[in-house]
Amino acid sequence: MTEIKYLSTRGQESNLNFEDVLLSGLARDGGLYLPDTWPRFSNLELNDMKELDYISLAEKIISPFVGKEIRSKLYEMCRETYSNFDHEEVVPIKNLDGNLYVMELFYGPTFAFKDYAMQFLANVFDYVLKQKKKKILIVGATSGDTGSAALEAFKKNTNVDLFILFPNNKVSSIQQKQMTTIFKKGCQSLAIETDFDGCQSIVKSLFSDLNFKDEVKLSAINSINWARLIPQVVYYFYGAFKLGAPNKKVNFSVPTGNFGNIFAGWVAKKMGLPINNLICASNQNDILTRFFDSGTMERKSVEESYSPSMDIQVSSNFERLLFEMIGRDSEALNFYMDRFEKNKKFNVDRLMLKKFNNEFVSLKVPDFEIIDEIKNTHDKSNYLLDPHSAVGVRAAKTAMFEGRVDNKIPLISIACAHPAKFPKVIEKSLNFSPENPYALEEVLKRREKFKILNNEINVIKSYITNNMR
């Protein structure tokens, strides 16, 4: 198997191997890493893969993206990652109604889809850092689930210092408690007086300070790190195979804010999976839907919603898709990104917009529809959705009803988190609170400990450097 090399979307880095990309996180030129070529499975290979269990399938999908040394340990890493998930299938698929299904991605330790990538990422980092006898600093931003998944995954990794920035008072109380009950030197969460986009901006500023980046060996666990996205590709294959792929097409509805999860679906399609449509399901912070409707990517202020993990106005991973759609033209990409940085907006022409709309269907689901969909799905299908998953299901139903996707093709909506993580929203819709899984109940008994900091880069940088191991 030929080893894939990596390049930056901004054009100043290329010919990197997987380990370079893993440890660097964000490219030195400010760009995001992508493979220089997309691996693609033949129909024969896909048919051979469709009966594999989740661990074996993960090894098969991830293999082309990593180097020879990691590949030799890959099955062991996948087994270590997914054998501890709390469902025999790892990713169960459940029918809601007719051709509409949900894919449950909340059987990891923090009950959210981020575990499927983060647990694997921690194992890869651990292996590579031990081999290289290195230590690194990871700083990540979270709108809710990434932070708890990262802290849980990395809390025992002695080669990594990890600091998670979250927007103060803007995540659910349970999401916060999952983060703030893990607190020790070199592994903790910081509440920042800003929104998620502000936290994300701080992380990017730290990466753009190349002296600091080099001094502390800074890396990332957000989906800006390409290695975070690769494991997410796996469950698209698994779900599609369960519903008849590769001999049948399948559609997916993906609740998304930062565009990472749905981009993983697009990658699966590039690799040969017969995905017909990808539905980009936004909440009322609908920067993505507005783009797909008009061709204008414009940053507005963030509105707090019932689906806080999607309260985002800067979808970082969209840069990867834009790079692909403009023919991997780094000069053009830099033009768009500069415009967005300076003016908070950029436009693409109608011909370019058509290319995006050939790949994606996009819908907006505001708060009142989230409340309605949780009730509707519970009453009709006896199924309890968390508010983010409700965004995906409502978008899926609307797309099917309006004929924007083919109703004859099975549609899988991604269920991102356990409903117990968002009891207030469930109670608002159904007048009862969901039962907590035992492990979550244990977390809620623990004492919180975290630091609140102003949104000042020097204050945050100073705190991090003084609290590393």
pLDDT tens digit string along 102-148? 999 999 999 999 999 999 999 999 999 999 999 999 999 998 789 99
Q: What is the pLDDT of residue 93?
A: 98
Of the chain, the percentage scoring pLDDT greater than 70 comes to 100
Average pLDDT for 412-437: 96
- Of 402, 284, 287, 397, the C-alpha closest to 344 is 287
Q: What is the pLDDT of residue 17?
A: 97
Q: Domains in the chain, start-ordered, CATH in brackets?
A: 93-110+226-430 (3.40.50.1100)
Q: From CA 74, how far away is CA 225, in angstroms rounded?
A: 19
Q: From CA 190, how far away is CA 193, in angstroms rounded?
A: 10
Confidence of residue 3 (pLDDT cuts 50, 70, 90): confident
Of the chain, the percentage scoring pLDDT greater than 90 comes to 95
- Residue-wise DSSP of 266-304: HHHHHTT--EEEEEEEE-S--HHHHHHHHSEEE--PPPP
Calculate the CA dihedral of residues 30, 32, 36, 41 and round it to 10 degrees: 180
Average pLDDT for 54-77: 97
Strand 345-347 with 451-453, pairing: unpaired
201: left (phi over 0), alpha (psi -120 to 50) or beta: alpha
Confidence of residue 330 (pLDDT cuts 50, 70, 90): very high
Q: What is the pLDDT of residue 144?
A: 78
Which one-letter DSSP state was computed for residue 184? B
Answer whether 293's CB lies under 8 Å from 364's CB.
no
Going through 342-464 in order, the beta strands assigned E by DSSP cover 345-347, 360-364, 411-415, 451-453
pLDDT greater than 80 at residue 1: no
Question: Which residues are annotated as catalytic?
Answer: 114
Our measurement of the distance from residue 222's CA atom to the centroid of its chain's CA atoms, rounded to an integer in Å, reads 8
Answer whether 222's CB lies under 8 Å from 207's CB.
no
pLDDT greater than 90 at residue 222: no
pLDDT tens digit string along 242-298? 999 999 999 999 999 999 999 999 999 999 999 999 999 999 999 999 999 999 999
Residue 43 CB: number of other CB atoms within 10 A? 11
Q: From CA 143, how far away is CA 257, in angstroms rounded?
A: 9
The single residue listed with the structure tokens 């299904």 is: 101
User: Where is average pLDDT lowest: 169-178, 328-337, 358-367?
Assistant: 169-178
Answer whether 145's CB lies under 8 Å from 417's CB.
yes
List of residues 6+ apart from 242 with CB closer than 8 A: 93
Q: What is the pLDDT of residue 390?
A: 98
Going through 203-353 in order, the beta strands assigned E by DSSP cover 218-219, 250-255, 275-282, 296-298, 345-347
Answer whether 451's CB lies under 8 Å from 185's CB.
no
